[in-house]
Structure 1
Amino acid sequence: MKFYLAPMEGVTGYIYRNAYHAHFRPMDKYFTPFLAPKHNGGFSHREINDILPEHNEGMDTVPQLLTGNSEDFLRAARELKEYGYKEVNLNLGCPSGTVAAKGKGAGFLRDPEGLELFLEQVCEGMERLGLELSVKTRLGIEEPEEFDRLLSIYNRFPLKELIIHPRVLKDFYKYTPRMEAFRNAFANSAAPVCYNGDIVDRESYERLTAAYPALDAVMIGRGLLADPFLIETLSGQAGTERRRTQIVRLSALHQQILEGYCQTMSGDKNVLFKMKELWAHLIHFDPEWEPYIKKIRKAQRLGEYKIITGQMFRERKAAL
């Protein structure tokens, strides 16, 4: 099985990717949080930092683009090629209201005819550039039956991979994935299929692989952020490591992320916000952390945060 890191805006940037890659079972691919090409210019300073080759050494990183304009997509793809990338991913899955209202992300699925024309233009341009195109998509806007039409469009083009999150836009991240629709998509897709959605533990993973033994790629986001050991568990590499050793490794991950943000962000408050964002996911890793998590949430200064997390890791290691 191939494991991919899902693109999560504000969380899985290059600082997180490098820290995870250094301390845990490497992912087979890392997808960047979406880059938003502009009509009148290139990438922002933040976006360039995320795709710089020196910030992605040793990782198979795939940049993801969010746009509904084929000219902007191809201009950005050309720039990505200059950085050495060979695959570009199209975001048709973001359910954010502000994104969808502009006809981007999952909002683009509202216009199948426009999407078909877009893909026709993009695929022609990508072929000229010698680049591969993959697509991350939802099932539609309102109902999963919409995907029949969308899949007929995707099947017209030489996609490297179709990453399917089996929810519609209106689901956001609620409810259970619509697996009947995924079953039909998996059976009828001309492109290789990667599954994305709610893989959070061994049980959810084994349920998926039992139903789809031919599936060879899964994309995981929130489940991995909550448990960085998840891929090791799913691939059979975990089971003998002591809990104390896990805490030591997690502490190393945390420290590298913290130092990375401190070195690249201006202002302690910005760093503190990013670290609290990380703990919104990591809180689920260890129930014993709850008293510290409350303190982390209330922390107003970075120095205070460092004292709290330092004490937390020390006391947990001493107790194990």
Structure 2
Amino acid sequence: MDYLFAPMEGITGYVFRNAHHRHFHGIKAYYTPFISPNQTRKFTPRELNDVRPEHNEGVPVIPQILTNKADDFLWAAGRLKELGYTEVNLNLGCPSGTVVAKKRGSGFLEYPMELDEFLYQVCDGLAKVGMELSVKTRVGKEKPEEFEELLSIYNRYPLKNLIVHPRVQTDYYKNHPHMEAFELAVRESRNPVLYNGDLFRRAEIEAFGQKYPGISAVMLGRGLLTNPALAETKASCIAEEKAGSVPQLTVERIRAFHADVLEGYRKAIPGDKNVLFKMKELWTYLGEAFEDSAKPMKKIRKAQRMEEYQAEVESLLIEKQIRSEPVFSGWNK
């Protein structure tokens, strides 16, 4: 089974991707946080920096686009084609209220006729320039029963793959995935189906693979942020010519990974205050990899100066042990 790194807005930009790819392995492709094109026909500096080839050398990257306008999507895809990309991903999963209010992301799922016309135009336009389209989708706006109609629309078009996150928009990231909707996709999709949602432990991934042997890849997000080594297997160690490596997380690996991310942000972002904001966001997940980390994490969050922050991080790394199974605790409680 292949492993894909989910796009996480504000976290998994090129600085993070480069550091993760350097220190961990097992990821077949990293999906970028979404690009949101509009009629200005310009990428923002952040969007352009994130997809520049020189910022992603040696890292397998698939750009994701968020829009409900076919012309804007095709413009962005064309620009990405100029930068060397051959596949783009359509975001039909973002549950953010501000995104949904603009009828984008999972908000677009509420308008199946418009989505159908959008996909018709986009697939026709991409075919003319030799690009492939993948789709990351939720199973509906409010009810998983909506997915039957949505799947019938997806089946009309030649997608590289259909990545199904079996929640509805109103679930956000809470509640449990609606696996009956995912199983509908497994049975009836004419496009290759991939899975995304609540796989936080290796045992869960293995059990999923046994239950759904026809699924060739899973997309991991929050689980990988807590355990950056989650996608590693003995086979991937050998493939990366690291046959002596053991697929596990260690303090030494986290220290080196953290240093790389921090250095990358300090080069890319002006001002320590902005860098600290980005690093603290990462620790929201990474902190859960450590035993009894509540107090040191509180100190990390309160740090106002770079020197203070680095000292608190080092204290955590020295004083606390990695959990026997680092795992994101989930938001279902």
TM-score when normalising by structure 1 = 0.94
- Residue of structure 1 in register with 2:143 after alignment: 143
- Residue of structure 1 in register with 2:311 after alignment: 307
The one-character-per-residue Cα deviations of 1:38-85 (angstroms, maximum 9, x if unpaired) are 211210011111001111111221000000000000000000000000
1:100-119 superposed matches below 5 A: 100-119=100-119
Distance in 2 between the 1:242 and 1:82 partners? 37
- Residue of structure 2 in register with 1:195 after alignment: 195
The one-character-per-residue Cα deviations of 1:275-315 (angstroms, maximum 9, x if unpaired) are 10000000111114333212101111222101211233244
Q: Does the residue aligned with 1:25 lie in a helix, a strand or coil? A: coil
Distance in 2 between the 1:246 and 1:78 partners? 42
Q: Does the residue aligned with 2:40 lie in a helix, a strand or coil? A: coil
Distance in 2 between the 1:173 and 1:193 partners? 21
Q: Does the residue aligned with 1:135 lie in a helix, a strand or coil? A: strand
Q: Is the 8 A contact 2:26 2:233 kept in 1?
A: no
- Segments of 5+ residues of structure 2 without an aligned counterpart are 238-242, 322-333
Change (3 A) 1:234 1:192: farther
- Residue of structure 2 in register with 1:7 after alignment: 7
Offset at residue 91 of structure 1 (A): 0.2
- Segments of 5+ residues of structure 1 without an aligned counterpart are none
The one-character-per-residue Cα deviations of 1:191-237 (angstroms, maximum 9, x if unpaired) are 11110000100232123112101111100000000001111259686
Distance in 2 between the 1:262 and 1:66 partners? 28
1:81-160 superposed matches below 5 A: 81-160=81-160
Distance in 2 between the 1:87 and 1:93 partners? 18
1:22 matched to 2:14: no
Q: Is the 8 A contact 1:202 1:234 kept in 2?
A: no
Give the alignment's Cα RMSD to 1 decimal. 1.9
- Residue of structure 1 in register with 2:47 after alignment: 47
Query: Identity over the aligned pairs, expressed in percent?
Result: 53
Offset at residue 253 of structure 1 (A): 0.5
- Residue of structure 1 in register with 2:268 after alignment: 264
- Residue of structure 2 in register with 1:295 after alignment: 299
| Stretch deviating more after TM superposition (192-201 or 286-295) | 286-295
Q: Does the residue aligned with 1:30 lie in a helix, a strand or coil? A: strand
- Residue of structure 2 in register with 1:179 after alignment: 179
Distance in 2 between the 1:132 and 1:236 partners? 26
Distance in 2 between the 1:201 and 1:195 partners? 15
- Residue of structure 1 in register with 2:278 after alignment: 274
Q: Is the 8 A contact 2:66 2:105 kept in 1?
A: yes
Change (3 A) 1:235 1:174: farther
Distance in 2 between the 1:274 and 1:95 partners? 22
Q: Is the 8 A contact 2:74 2:122 kept in 1?
A: yes
Q: Is the 8 A contact 2:234 2:247 kept in 1?
A: no
Offset at residue 136 of structure 1 (A): 0.3
* Letter of the structure 1 residue corresponding to residue 141 of structure 2: I
- Residue of structure 2 in register with 1:248 after alignment: 252
Q: Is the 8 A contact 2:4 2:28 kept in 1?
A: yes
1:220 matched to 2:220: yes
Distance in 2 between the 1:241 and 1:188 partners? 39
TM-score when normalising by structure 2 = 0.91
Count of aligned pairs between the two proteins: 316
Change (3 A) 1:24 1:242: closer
The one-character-per-residue Cα deviations of 1:228-269 (angstroms, maximum 9, x if unpaired) are 1111259686998498x8110111100000011111111111
